Amino acid sequence: MTNFPWLTTIILLPIVASLLIPIIPDKDGKTVRWYALIVGLIDFVLIVYAFYSGYDLGNPELQLVESYAWIPDLDLKWSVGADGLSMPLIILTGFITTLAIMAAWPVTLKPKLFYFLMLAMYGGQIAVFAVQDMLLFFLVWELELVPVYLILSIWGGKKRLYAATKFILYTAGGSLFILVAALTMAFYGDTVTFDMSAIAAKDYAFNLQLLLYAGLLIAYGVKLPIFPLHTWLPDAHGEATAPAHMLLAGILLKMGGYALIRMNLGMLPDAHVFFAPILVILGVVNIVYAALTSFAQRNLKRKIAYSSISHMGFVLIGLGSFTNLGLSGALLQMISHGLIGASLFFMVGATYDRTHTLMLDEMGGVGKQMKKIFAMWTSCSLASLALPGMSGFVAELMVFVGFATSDAFNPIFKVVVVLLAAVGVILTPIYLLSMLREIFYGQENKELVEHEVLVDAEPREVFIIASLLVPIIGIGLYPKVATQIYDATVTQLTSMIRSHVPALTATSQAPEVENVAFLKAPDLYE
Amino acid sequence: MEPLLYEYAWLIPVLPLVGATLVGVGLISLNKFTNQLRQLNAAFIITLLGVSMAMSFALLWSQIQGHGSYTSTFEWASAGNFHLTMGYIIDPLTAVMLVIVCTVAFLVMIYTDGYMAHDPGYVRFYSYLSIFSSSMLGLVISPNLVQIYIFWELVGMCSYLLIGFWYDRKAAADACQKAFVVNRVGDFGLLLGMLGLYWATGSFEFEIMGDRLAELVSSGALAGGLAALFGVLVFLGPVAKSAQFPLHVWLPDAMEGPTPISALIHAATMVAAGVFLIARMYPVFEHIPVAMDTIAWTGAFTAFLGASIAITQNDIKKGLAYSTVSQLGYMVMAMGCGAYSAGVFHLMTHAYFKAMLFLCSGSVIHGMEGVVGHDPVLAQDMRLMGGLRKYMPITAFTFLVGNLAICGIPPFAGFWSKDEILGLAFQANPALWVVGWLTAGITAFYMFRMYFLTFEGEFRGTNQTIIAQLKAAAAGVEEEVVLEPAFGPGAMDPHELDHDEDHHHSSEPHESPWTMTLPLLVLAVPSFLLGWLGRPWANSFEALVHAPGETTAEVVEHAAHFSWTEFAIMGGNSVGIALIGITVASLMYLQQKISAGAIAQKIQPLYNLSLNKWYFDEIYDRVFVMGCRRLARQMLEIDYRVVDGAVNFTGLVTVVTGQGLKYFENGRAQFYALIIFAAVLGFVVLSSIG
């Protein structure tokens, strides 16, 4: 079975299945959701099976590789593969999307279109993580935007059109940089190739690397998001429905991080040496700035949206750390936030279904009537504030230790960064716990209790949160469950990047920092 | 048998966790059914903890017999050449802590059955108690700093959940958040210190860290100042957890939680975790004199601060809470003076007598609730108590035992441990001794004030004037902060409607059921006898638990130098001042010879300072809470106006946005998106051909 085209099957199954949706006889919208769920489950099982049977944990290289010529004239190849960077995210995608389909159970507006889009996204997202051809990557990256856009603009809140437009313009605007960078890299040098490994193997001029890096950083910075390119996210999140949220926070943000590692780190290591301090600083800004804005937010969805931005800051610090542990932590933070973010946004949706308001001022004391919702909210918030025993803690600790022990930065820079990032450790519980206090604690809000029916969680909701908490706690108790999937790849990648840091290799090929006056990095070579 | 016992020692924290998990899952999935089982759940959880307790006793016995320390680890996380191990260590310190935690938790759980009998959250409370016990036991068996940090946070979480147990009370809601956030401030320091130490020494193991740090500092590879900074940062963790100045503010508020957890978490075990951490980190701290001095003086000041506030408190639990703050100060001071085993010894004796005092206060509150109803404002106020000894003899007796213990009257437990601390503090720095000695006098005064107010004199619980005064004061305070002016009948007192229902009052309080009094009597035994272990001429406690640097032979030799004259002077001094404190208290509150009100009038500013807890809450509120809120609001404003604006209206995006939005308002959104998509696609195709 090793030659079976696993990844292609996994990507195409939901897409093909989605095309069948229009011909499914379904009057009341109830058949199609079962259909979508079953397809999602089958695909998830396939992912797990492919991982189990065809993936070797000790091998840092691409596995499950397939390559077929698609349009030979364009040198466009359907080439997919998975290494330690892709594999955990592919599994995460299958997991979260299946749960999102289940979270969408109450959707009654145009169910056929909705599930069609969900399944299309399922395949599209996995494709982003699996494809190994630059051009193809760009295509799928763009393709998966369309369903998100439509889901936002049809099933969103009151300002959905504004939010959806902002989302697509930001991301599509960013994508132009990907295209330009991809083409430049493909045509650079003697050979023209779109194959990612071949592109990574090319040796680019340093100045060109810097330009390419900056362009890609903007593109992926929109997606991750990185301050100051983040403002589409609160708008998009503020208007999206729960399932769309789960996908946005759980998977779409991770594409930015994934692409940064795959391309910026993997293909442009010399530029990364230059840009790493900037990444770290942006990471700190993300953490502190977004935590503060989240604290001031009165709208529940936007509050959680800002908390996502804050958590992504740790990814950036990990990426810039030049250590195995830091990079490992960054990847784990992506996985962990995928799970925690999805669970928090699901809870926001579940709460909104009952209170019909997102404003904290209009809630209060609802814990008395919704005990299970209260318990689940508390668990998810504790996970998000990096309580030990849950995945977020391990990820943040790894990033902290990785960065603190990094030999690439001078001690003062490290002290300042660690100190400021640790301020986030104090700010996170402040905004999350005061949010809990305002929703659930204290006297019941009479206005709310009189006008809304506050029913406690139904089994479906308990099941979804339980499914998310199992891996969150599992990774928290024994992180090797997750880290060993990518350990080999990350180790290889780190040693490759470290070989480009002059101070660490003691070779004298110092990059020509003076030539680029517009960006001056803090002292990296102590 | 013995190797097997050590091999399976990990079961000690795991068993309560299993109990908590099973009951918790039951609560979530079969809520009604699980709640109906009530005492069956409690019995299940108590049994599991009982097994852990038996194992702990067996381990302690084996350690007393001289079994070497035992460590077992496994690899927990790794990345490249970084390996982090977890596991457990059993040494005398661990064994002693295990026994303390297990016994107190076990007795508190039995007590809970009586105290929480009518609470709808009975089962939930047991599962929280169980998960706390599990985390606390995990903390004390941790072999390295990271694992301590993990459980450190977990006990903090349990404390959060338990303080906020009655979540419909506003005060509880505020208190639990405050507790968590203040503790996070401490954890922030602990995390930074931990990272710093790891960066310098490359290890999270206590001994290795200590040795390497000493080496680095002495060889000059690491600046002494930096080492001191790391030490002080790590110490921030204990400062928060053990409620030391300036992060002590959360502990008195934490009394909003049900009384059993005040006894277990906020008196006996979790707050002592800070002292335990200092003990574990002793190999590191002992090489950093600056850190040691900081620890000693923080402890001494906190001891005084807590006692000075406790004098004027009228809420029985608040008074005990400040007394806990003060006693923790003693322990921390001991650690800072290098009195390692004295500090741990006081931790142990304090755990028992303070747990008992808190449980007594719970019993008193339980009795009072029968008279004044379920209102913490009334049931916990000592101005409404008095003469309870007649109605609750067992509670009064055990409270008195605890009182004598905490005041340091020989031969009660507290005398030996406190006297040892004071003696060693005198050797380290006489100034520290003076602070500790004065505090001992204040302690005796306020503890007996509490005893006389509660148990002696006439019962005042039916005095309607006082009740009305207290209600008005409480309503006034709350109205200021929270309640918007209400309209309609009964609007002046927002609690009026809530309390109308529980007027099933009797005119006299009653003694608590046996499930509550039994634990009190059991705890009275160690409160009385335990000190004997630490008698200075044959200190068997120190022979068991001593600083990692010392050997048992050294300890024994040290004990041989015991001098009766020295002991008599030191002991006489501390007993003397305690007796003075007790006498003054009895003159003021028992015989009413001196009017407390008149004195308060004379020293009005000092009285107000103490009554208002040195204004810490007000200052912190003004500076940190308000400051943080303002900063956050400004940031959000910036985000809206500057960042969003700037990115929206610059560059390529601006042009498209302006045009695009017009289209979208016409409702042709999907169409437009497809155009963009097609354009991009076309661009791709064209460029790749070209």
pLDDT score at A283: 92
Tokens in use for A395? 């990820």
* Residue that has been written with the tokens 């004295």 in this structure: B342
Q: Which residues of A touch B170 (CB under 8 A)?
A: 441-443
Give pLDDT tens digits for B59-107: 999 888 888 888 888 888 777 677 888 899 988 899 999 999 999 999 9
| Predicted pLDDT of residue A505 | 58
Across the interface, whether the CB atoms of B80 and A402 are under 8 A apart is answered: no
Residues of A numbered 93-132 whose beta carbons fall under 8 angstroms of chain B's beta carbons: which are they?
none
Instruction: Quote the percentage of chain B above a pLDDT of 70.
Output: 88
User: According to the model, what pLDDT value does residue B675 have?
Assistant: 58
The residue with tokens 């006898």 is B529
B155 in Cβ contact with B266 (< 8 Å): no
Pick among A368, A437, A449, A486 to test the B interface (most B CBs inside 10 A): A437
Residue type (1 letter), A412: I
Q: Say yes or no for a CB contact (<8 Å) between A325 and B687.
A: no
Strand B82-90 and strand A76-82: the pairing is unpaired
C-beta atoms of A388 and B674 within 8 A: no
- Which stretch of A397-406, B56-65, B420-429, B487-496 has the lowest confidence by average pLDDT? B487-496
Q: What is the pLDDT of residue A41?
A: 93
Q: Residue B72's beta-bridge partner residues? A: B88
pLDDT the model gives residue B138: 92
Residues of B in contact with A475 (CB under 8 A): none
Find, in chain B, the residue whose alpha carbon is nearest to that of A429.
B181
- Which tens digits make up the pLDDT trace of B633-685? 888 888 877 777 766 655 444 445 545 444 444 444 455 555 555 655 555 55
Q: Which residues in chain B touch residue A418, judged by CB atoms under 8 angstroms apart?
A: 192, 195
The rounded distance, in Å, linking the Cα atoms of B446 and B525 is 23
Looking at B14-18, B80-84, B422-426, B589-593, which range is the least confident one? B80-84
Please check whether residue B202 is in contact with residue B211, taking contact to mean a CB–CB distance below 8 angstroms: no
The verdict on a CB contact (< 8 Å) between A170 and B653 is yes
Tell me what pLDDT residue B569 has.
86
pLDDT at A510: 35
Instruction: Please give the average per-residue pLDDT across B607-629, as a whole number.
Output: 85
Cβ–Cβ under 8 Å, residues A351 and A417? no
pLDDT at A511 over 60: no
Burial class of residue B466 (count of CB atoms within 10 Å of its CB; 0-12, 13-18, 19+): middle
A165 neighbourhood in chain B, CB within 8 Å: 657, 660-661, 664, 669
Contact A313, A256 (CB under 8 A): no
CA B214, distance to chain mean position in Å, is 32
> What are the chain B neighbours of A179 within 8 Å (beta carbons)?
680, 683-684, 687
Indicate the pTM of the whole model. 0.87
pLDDT at B499: 43
* pLDDT value for B240: 92
Q: Which residue in B125, B182, B684 has the most chain A C-beta atoms within 10 A of its own C-beta, making it the best mutation to test that interface?
A: B684
Q: Which residues of B touch A221 (CB under 8 A)?
A: none
Show Cβ contacts of residue B638 under 8 Å, excluding neighbours closer than 6 positions.
none
For residue A523, pLDDT beyond 80: no
Q: Measure Cα distances from B451 to B326, B361, B404, B478 in Å.
A: 18, 10, 11, 29
B102, B129 Cβ separation under 8 angstroms: no
Contact B643 A231 (CB under 8 A): yes
Q: What is the pLDDT of residues B520-544, one digit of tens each?
A: 899 888 888 888 888 877 777 887 8
B-chain CB neighbours of A382 within 8 Å are 157
- Answer yes or no: are the C-beta atoms of A111 and A2 closer than 8 Å: no
Q: Report CA-CA distances (Å) from A194 to A131, A493, B116, B165.
A: 11, 20, 69, 60
Higher pLDDT, A153 or A254: A254
User: How does residue B494 score in pLDDT terms, banded at 50, 70 and 90?
Assistant: very low
Count of other CB atoms within 10 angstroms of residue B207: 13
Say what the pLDDT of residue B649 is: 59
Transcribe B333-370 into DSSP letters.
Answer: HHHHTT-HHHHHHHHHHHHHHHHHHHHHHHHHHHHHHH
Interface with B, mutate which of A325, A484, A493 (most B CBs under 10 A): A325
Average pLDDT, chain B: 83
Mean pLDDT computed over A382-390: 90
Kindly determine whether residue A169 and residue B657, on different chains, have CB atoms separated by under 8 Å: yes
| Closest-approach residue (CA) in chain A for B164 | A441
Residue A440 near residue A356, CB atoms below 8 Å: no
Mean pLDDT over B269-291 rounds to 90
Residue that the structure tokens 């800070």 belong to: B274
Confidence of residue A441 (pLDDT cuts 50, 70, 90): confident
Q: How far, in whole angstroms, is CA A396 from its chain's centroid?
A: 16
Alpha-helix residue ranges (DSSP H) falling in A409-501: 411-440, 446-451, 459-477, 480-498
Residue with tokens 């049994």: B47
Q: What residue type is assigned to position A479 of the chain?
A: P
Q: What whole-number distance in Å separates Cα of residue A76 and Cα of residue A72?
A: 6
Write down the pLDDT at residue A519: 33
* pLDDT (0 to 100) of residue A451: 76
Which pLDDT does position B682 carry in this prediction?
A: 59
- Beta strand A63-71 with B82-90: parallel, antiparallel or unpaired? unpaired
Of the candidates A461, A326, A316, the one whose C-alpha atom is nearest the C-alpha of residue A380 is A461
Token pair, residue B163, equals: 């303080």
Query: How far is residue B145's CA from residue B198's CA, in Å, rounded to a whole number?
Result: 10
Which residues have C-beta within 8 Å of that of residue B227, sequence separation ≥ 6? B200, B213, B216, B217, B287, B288
Are A404 and B685 within 8 A, CB to CB? no
pLDDT of residue B648: 63
Residue A468 has pLDDT above 60, yes or no: yes
Question: Where in chain B are the domains?
Answer: 1-163, 164-611, 633-689
Q: Which residues of A touch B188 (CB under 8 A)?
A: 422-423, 425-426
> Looking at beta carbons, which residues of chain B come within 8 Å of A425?
184, 187-188, 191
Residue of A nearest to B233 (CA): A419
Label each residue of A266-308 as H, E or C: HHCHHHHHHHHHHHHHHHHHHHHHHHHHHHHCCEHHHHHHHHH
List, for residues A269-300, the tens digit of each pLDDT value: 888 888 888 899 999 999 998 999 999 888 88
Find, among A117, A124, A95, the residue nearest to A12 by Cα: A124
Interatomic CA distance for residues B506 and B368, integer angstroms: 10
Rounded distance between C-alpha atoms, residue B456 and residue B512, angstroms = 18
A327 — pLDDT class (breaks 50, 70, 90) = very high
Q: Residue by residue, what is the 3-state secondary structure of A113-132?
A: HHHHHHHHHHHHHHHHHHEC
Q: What is the pLDDT of residues B113-136, one digit of tens each?
A: 888 888 888 888 999 999 999 999
CB contact under 8 A, A76 and B683: no
A81's enclosing H/E stretch is strand A76-82
Tokens representing A261 are: 């590692």
Contact A433 B180 (CB under 8 A): yes
| Angle at the Cα of B407 from the Cα atoms of B337 and B581, rounded to 5 degrees | 110
d(CA A386, CA B166) in angstroms, rounded, equals: 25
In the structure, what pLDDT confidence band is assigned to residue B152 with cuts at 50, 70 and 90?
Answer: very high
Predicted pLDDT at A507: 38
What's chain B's Rg over C-alpha atoms? 28
End-to-end CA distance of chain A: 52
Which whole-number Å values give the CA distances from A199 to A204, A263, B646, in the listed order? 10, 9, 35
Residue of chain B nearest A161, judged by CA positions: B664
Exposed, middle or buried: residue A103 (CB in 10 Å: 0-12, 13-18, 19+)? buried
Please choose, from the candidates B532, B552, B548, B550, the residue with its C-alpha nearest in 3D space to the C-alpha of residue B91.
B548
pLDDT digits (tens, 9 = 90+) for B385-414: 888 888 888 889 999 999 999 988 888 888
**Secondary structure (H, E, C), B557-603:** HHHHCCCHHHHHHHHHHHHHHHHHHHHHHHHHHHCCCCCHHHHHHHC
- Rounded-to-integer distance, Cα A261 and Cα A486, Å: 13
CB-based contact A95:A15 (threshold 8 Å): no
Name the residue among B157, B669, B687 with its Cβ closest to that of A382: B157
Nearest CA in chain A to B664: A161
